[in-house]
Structure formats: structure tokens, C-alpha cells
Structure 1
Amino acid sequence: MAETRPLNHEEMLAALDWYRAAGVDVAVGEEPIDRFAQRPPPRGPAPAMTASAQERQAAPPPTLPLGGDPAEARGLAASAQTLDELRTILETYDGCGLKLRATRLCFADGNPEAKIMLIGEAPGAEEDRQGKPFVGRSGQLLDRMLAAIGLDRSLVYIANTVPWRPPGNRTPTPEEMALCLPFLHRQVELVAPRLVMTLGGPAMQTIFNTTAGIIKMRGKWQSLAIGNHQVDAIPTLHPAYLLRNPAAKQQAWRDLLALKLKRSELGLD
């Protein structure tokens, strides 16, 4: 039988890592406890409340703000004269609760002077760690999609509808979108792209201001006003969706060919 001895520091850390990997999150004692057999202690009479305590109990709870002010967000966004200024404003802006749970700001990637802008929904886990959009598996697929029509990140500008990762990769709430949208609109105005491609349903619904589904809308060009910038835009499927549904890649391929053709028509090659 192995000798029983206290663990040293390195061994304790290794054991804790093993427990965490195994999903252990509650410490228990050596002997089992029958919680059903336990009885709560008898309750005595409640102590008398003082007059001040009674007043506090009767008073309504304080009203806490549910989030930032969209008007403030619009004012801050409009004040940015460059992309660097807009990024600095976002780094110091605390009006949106998404920022409190995210690791870092995920502002943009690619060429800010590009004539083609891609807009996704929100950062994922890897994007949150690196602070860049589309750097995980879906980002790798996006790079291959761009390469198939002669593009790369030096020829496009990539952003998201919200610059911070929502907890658990959930869809941003309407309140969160209302706080983030002015910054995205200003981002589009400052980049001033000739063409925009949205990636996925939520980004399409936000940019195209519609409740229609992505399957119905994808592949159709529209002239949109994004902020004060007029631009031709086309929605396509999100790379993450294509990873889960490879058969849909043929639809995304047609959308990419439409982007390539429009780019050629406008002389953006």
C-alpha cells in the first residue's frame, strides 16, 4: 500500500487542477450527512423592530438604473472624428453592461481604408481573449471564404454589431443593441465602405432593420443608410452556421460570388 503523507504545494495545485477538470466544485467532508434527517432549530419570537427599522422596511427599494442612456451613446459616438478616437471612447465607456463581463474590447480588424466592410454579430470566446473579431474556427473559415474570391483581411474591414462578448455567447438584448448601435453606425461612417456584407441573422436584422429570417434575405442587395452613410449591402450566412451545416456552404458561395461581381462592377478590384 502506498504511504499516506501530506501533499506538497505542487501536488496540491495539481490535485486542484484535476478536480476542476473533472467538474468538482463543492467540497465535502469525510462522513456523509443525511440532510433529510436534520431538523431546523426551533424558532423563538422575532425581536421587536425599532421605529427606524420599521421605516426602512416600509420604504420602497431604491430605483437602480437598468443600463446606460442611448442618447449619451449617440452623443459620444458622434463626437469621434477618427476610428482611434472612437476606440478610445469605447474603452472608457461604461454605459453598456456587456463591458463589465467581457475580457476586452473587440473593436475591429482588417484595413480601415478598405472599400468592403464585413459586420458580424458579437465576439465569441476566442475573440474576447484576443480582442479581434473572427479569430476562432469561424474566423478561419471566413479567411478561406475571402480567399476564394481574391480577398483577405488587408482588403476588408471587419467589425461586429456589439464590441463586447455577451455572457455565454447569447444574443444581445434590445437594450444592449440600443447602446452599441450608435458606435457601430459611427464606425461605418468613418470607414465609409462602398460595400457591406453582414454575416448571420442577428447582424442582418440589425443592419437591415428587419425581423425577416436570414434564409429569406441572404444574397439580396439593398441600398441602406447606416448612420449617415449610404451603402450597398448584402447579407450572407455566418461562418459558424456553415461549420454546423456544411450543406449551406453552396448558398454562401453564391453570396460571395455576388460580392465579387459587385466589387468588379464598381471598379474596386
Structure 2
Amino acid sequence: MRGLMQDQATAADAYLAWWALAGVDCAMGEAPVDWLSAAPTVTSSPPPGPSAAPAVIQEKPRTLETFLAWLTGDPAQPERRWTGAPILPVGGQNATLMVVTDLPDPADMTEGRLLADRAGDLFDAMLRAIGLDRSMIHLASLFTARPPGGMVEAADLATVATRMRTHVALARPRRLLILGDRTIRALGGANGGAASEGLHDFNHEGGTVPAVATFHPRLLLTQPAAKAECWRALQSLIEEPRP
């Protein structure tokens, strides 16, 4: 009789041990358990590697050549977010006149040059009226490409305005012509943010340059009455330089 009980006790212990190995360690639990789910795996974290090297701060361009290279190759420029090949400034240093517009028009992006199509024809006529042509000027735009819909963010406008002041300082033109309301507002204008008929000092990183602000040729095409005011602004560019 005692041997039978010992055999039953041994069988019971083996039975309980089997269920324990299967994960059943109590008759009833407070929370449900998904016994069919895979057991969680424990992964060891890799040892910490060397700390990342600090970001390299690119040196500010000090010449017109390095500025143009930076304008083309720097991935942080706002134009990198848009499609279309950039239209870079043309002209060298110490030009008789530097002309700054806001951004390329659709026709400009198609032709790959600033102030193309009918607006460009009118611009060329404006230059001829003061005895100049494109080969004698430095021509640039705040933005080197055109964003979707021609709409720009205020933060981007502030960025390119600062960039343009560096550009003017490195180009060192004798006079500056600012075209268009958006360009005038971004750069502070030659007369507090408005089109002007006379020369005013434009502040840049290297000092000042005589400047005048007037209408963009694209506006003159739709509002011919503004041409008289524009002509008065252009006349100030052919006055004798102030001492």
C-alpha cells in the first residue's frame, strides 16, 4: 500500500513539474495570458561608439568667387528645396551698376537667365536709356530659383536678404538698382522700403553704396503710367557720383 502511495506521489510531482516547465505556476492569475505568443527575446545593446564629430561650420565667403561657389554648392540654401536649375548672378566686381531683382520669372527659368521674355526686353531698354547694357552690369536676384507658385516664406526672405548684403559687399558695384516691391521690402529699400526717385545709401557688410529702388519691369508692362516715375529713378543713376 505504501509503495503505491509513493508511486502516486512521484507521479504527481512529475506532473506538476511538467506544468511548471510549460509556464503554469499557479492555478489562477489576475491578468489574462496569451500562452500562444512567442516568448520575448532579449537583445543586448551594442557598446556605445565614439561620439559624433561636431558639425563643421563653413567659413563665410570672403571673395566673390567663393561666394558664388558657396551659393551653388551649399545644401542649406533655401533654393535646394525647389525644383529647377538655379540661375546664378552674372557680371564681375566693380561694375558700374549692380541690379538686384526678387526671383526668376517662369520665362527666366525656361531660358536659364534673369529678366527674359518681354520683361527682359523692357529691362534692356531701361539700361540703354542710361547708356548701359547687360555686359556692363552685375545682375543678381534674391532667390536663384523659383518656388512653387512664386511664393516665399518670410524666414527664407530674411535669409536671402542677409545673403544679398554679403553679395553686394563682395561685388563692390559703383551703384545699386533694386527692382520690385518684394526686393525693396526685403533689403530695406533705398528709401525705407519704397520706390524712390533719388539716390540713397544702401548699407551692406562692407559699408554703403549709392542705390535707387524702382518698379520691376513686369509691373511696368501692366501699369505703363508708372514708367515716368521709373525714368526719374533711373536718371539719378547717371548723375555724377557724390564725393
Normalising by structure 2, report the TM-score. Answer: 0.68
Change (3 A) 1:257 1:220: closer
**CA positional deviation for 1:126:** 2.5
**CA positional deviation for 1:168:** 1.6
Aligned counterpart for 1:109 among listed residues 68, 90, 93: 90
The alignment's C-alpha RMSD in Å is: 2.6
Where 1:119 maps in the other structure, the secondary structure is strand
Where 1:134 maps in the other structure, the secondary structure is coil
Written as runs of structure 1 = structure 2, the 5 A alignment for 1:135-150 is 135-150=116-131
Letter in 2 for 1:188: V
Any unmatched runs of 5+ in structure 2? 1-54
Where 1:198 maps in the other structure, the secondary structure is strand
Where 2:136 maps in the other structure, the secondary structure is coil
Change (3 A) 1:136 1:220: same
| Equivalent residue number for residue 255 of structure 1 | 233
Where 2:187 maps in the other structure, the secondary structure is helix
Written as runs of structure 1 = structure 2, the 5 A alignment for 1:128-207 is 128-170=109-151, 172-207=152-187
Q: In 1, Cα distance between the equivalents of 2:182 and 2:190? A: 10
Aligned counterpart for 2:214 among listed residues 211, 236, 250: 236
Change (3 A) 1:189 1:211: closer
**CA positional deviation for 1:97:** 4.2
User: Runs (4+) of structure 1 moved beyond 4 Å?
Assistant: 209-213
Change (3 A) 1:246 1:220: same
Change (3 A) 1:266 1:115: farther
Change (3 A) 1:174 1:210: farther
Any unmatched runs of 5+ in structure 1? 1-71
**CA positional deviation for 1:111:** 4.1
Where 1:109 maps in the other structure, the secondary structure is coil
Residues 71 and 77 of structure 2 are in contact (CA less than 8 Å); yes or no, is this contact kept in structure 1? Answer: no
Where 2:135 maps in the other structure, the secondary structure is coil
Residues 162 and 181 of structure 1 are in contact (CA less than 8 Å); yes or no, is this contact kept in structure 2? Answer: no
Letter in 2 for 1:119: V
**CA positional deviation for 1:266:** 5.3
Where 2:208 maps in the other structure, the secondary structure is strand
Percent identity (aligned): 26
- List per-residue Cα deviations over 1:209-266 (Å, max 9, x = no partner): 699663xx321322121223311111111100000111211111111111112xx345
Letter in 1 for 2:95: A
Residues 94 and 174 of structure 2 are in contact (CA less than 8 Å); yes or no, is this contact kept in structure 1? Answer: no
Where 1:143 maps in the other structure, the secondary structure is helix
Where 2:149 maps in the other structure, the secondary structure is helix
Where 1:90 maps in the other structure, the secondary structure is helix
Change (3 A) 1:81 1:211: closer
| Equivalent residue number for residue 99 of structure 2 | 118
Q: In 1, Cα distance between the equivalents of 2:190 and 2:198? A: 14
Larger Rg: 2
Q: In 1, Cα distance between the equivalents of 2:64 and 2:112? A: 16
Normalising by structure 1, report the TM-score. Answer: 0.62
Change (3 A) 1:156 1:123: same
- List per-residue Cα deviations over 1:89-125 (Å, max 9, x = no partner): 1222222443222311222123443131111111112
Decide which moves more: 201-210 or 145-154: 201-210
Residues 123 and 160 of structure 1 are in contact (CA less than 8 Å); yes or no, is this contact kept in structure 2? Answer: yes
Residues 197 and 232 of structure 2 are in contact (CA less than 8 Å); yes or no, is this contact kept in structure 1? Answer: yes
Change (3 A) 1:211 1:198: closer
Q: In 2, Cα distance between the equivalents of 1:210 and 1:192? A: 17
Q: In 1, Cα distance between the equivalents of 2:189 and 2:214? A: 15
Change (3 A) 1:103 1:218: same
Letter in 2 for 1:227: E
| Equivalent residue number for residue 79 of structure 1 | 60
